[in-house]
Amino acid sequence: MSQRIADDLEAFGARTVVITGGASGIGLATARMVVRRGGSVILMSRCLDRLKAAQAELGASASIAELDVTDEDAVRRAFTGIERIDHLITAAAGTLRGRLIDLDTQRARELFDAKFWGQHHCIKYARHEVRLRRFHRPCRRTTRPLPRHYNRSLRRVKTKSQENGVGDGSWRCCSDPAGIS
């Protein structure tokens, strides 16, 4: 086995990754990859049966917590008990299929609540436990300078935004490119 492959397989050694929506879909696929690469995961989801099945599949490297990310108090309680978080992945949501004009407004609001407010709650209450040098910041409005390699792409986005009359073009997405190594 080459050294590069060996390093890649150990990339998550001794790291803890919290994954909301971790009982299925992208969240579970991510959990499999983290465990395969030597990390441990804390899976969170509303569906306890799926969580238990995922934990059985992943083994001792996985722990679970039943959680509805739209319930802010429950999110606060869940994250208060976690000692260390190296990475936070917010995959909890759902999907809506069909034409926009045919979608049920209430169902669309539920999806928005899960995706937007769920991420907000998780970031808000996980921030004290996350090792900050590895924390992915959400997209937000900022004036903080970004790493040099972002500038060219951001100038294009900013210019296009201004040309199309979308805001003042100052929206930026900041993330640590080394966050998931």
Position 74 in a domain: yes
CATH of the domain at 52: 3.40.50.720
Which pLDDT belongs to residue 23? 94
Q: Are residues 112 and 148 in the same domain?
A: no
Three-class SS state of 112? helix
Same domain, 17 and 42: yes
Query: Is residue 92 located within the same domain as residue 130?
Result: yes
Mean pLDDT over each residue of the chain, to the nearest integer: 75
Q: Are residues 125 and 153 in the same domain?
A: no
Mark whether 81 and 127 lie in a shared domain.
yes
Q: What pLDDT was estimated at residue 109?
A: 86
Q: Which residue has the higher pLDDT, 51 or 107?
A: 51
The band of 172, judged by pLDDT with boundaries at 50, 70 and 90, is very low
Q: Rounded to two decimals, what is the model's pTM?
A: 0.66
pLDDT on residue 97: 78
Assess whether 64 and 145 both reside in one domain.
no
Task: Clarify whether residues 99 and 153 are in a common domain.
Answer: no
Any domain includes 62: yes
Q: Is 163 domain-assigned?
A: yes
- Residues 97 and 164 grouped into a single domain: no
* Total of domains in the chain: 2
Q: What is the pLDDT of residues 93-151, one digit of tens each?
A: 777 777 878 888 888 888 888 888 989 999 999 887 776 544 444 444 445 554 555 45
Instruction: Give residue 45's Cα distance to chain centre.
Output: 13
As beta bridge partners, residue 40 has 16
| pLDDT more than 90, % of the chain | 39
Say if 179 falls within a structural domain. no
User: Looking at the predicted structure, is the pLDDT value of residue 5 above 60?
Assistant: no
Whether residue 15 is found in the same domain as residue 51 = yes
Least confident of 2-11, 35-44, 106-115, 165-174: 165-174
- Expressed as residue numbers, the domain containing 90 is 3-134
Residues above pLDDT 70, as percent of the chain: 66
Q: Does 61 lie in the same domain as 15?
A: yes
Q: In which band, very low, low, confident or very high, does the pLDDT at 25 lie, cut at 50, 70 and 90?
A: very high
pLDDT at 9: 54
Please report the pLDDT score of residue 145 as a whole number: 55
* pLDDT tens, position by position, 71-94: 999 999 999 889 889 899 999 877
pLDDT of residue 133: 44
- 163 plus 96 within the same structural domain: no
Burial of 97: CB neighbours in 10 Å, binned 0-12, 13-18, 19+: exposed
Burial of 169 per CB tally in 10 Å (0-12, 13-18, 19+): middle
Cross-strand bridge partners of residue 17: 41, 87
The pLDDT score that the predictor gives to residue 142 is: 46
Residue 68 lies in a domain: yes
13, 53: one domain: yes
